[in-house]
Amino acid sequence: ALVTGASYGIGFAIAEGMAKAGATIVFNDIKQELVDKGLAAYREAGVEAHGYVCDVTDEDAVQAMVKQIVQEVGVVDILVNNAGIIKRIPMCEMTAAQFRQVVDVDLNAPFIVSKAV
């Protein structure tokens, strides 16, 4: 099971539940320190997980990550497009670039990851 953005929070809880049901867990995050933090949290929870650094908005990086997962862990049978962001900024104060970033992570990334898997 690949759960994007599952170093912590809802994604971590989903992955932990899937692991308890027998799934092998693979997750990603955008920064190495978040992946490392996630790996430590999974170990503490008694879950063997495989973590990868990947920006889910970068199609080439996502394709490379999925290829690496297949080589190192196996075929992805379950995908949870969990990675997402929110800008806690009133709309009138939000720039178009900030809005585009939310759309890119929350809308485009699930398309990119689903396509790659």
pTM score of the predicted model: 0.94
Residue 81 C-beta-side C-alpha neighbours within 13 Å: 16
- Residues belonging to the chain: 117
Angle at 2 between CA 98 and CA 112, to 5 degrees: 45
Query: What pLDDT, in 10s, does the model give residues 31-49?
Result: 999 999 999 999 999 999 9
| 3-class secondary-structure state, position 55 | coil
Given the candidates 3.40.50.10140, 3.20.20.100, 3.40.50.720, 1.20.58.340, the CATH classification of the domain at 2-116 is 3.40.50.720
Q: Where are the domains of the chain?
A: 2-116
Look over the chain and give the mean of its residue pLDDT values, rounded to a whole number.
Answer: 97
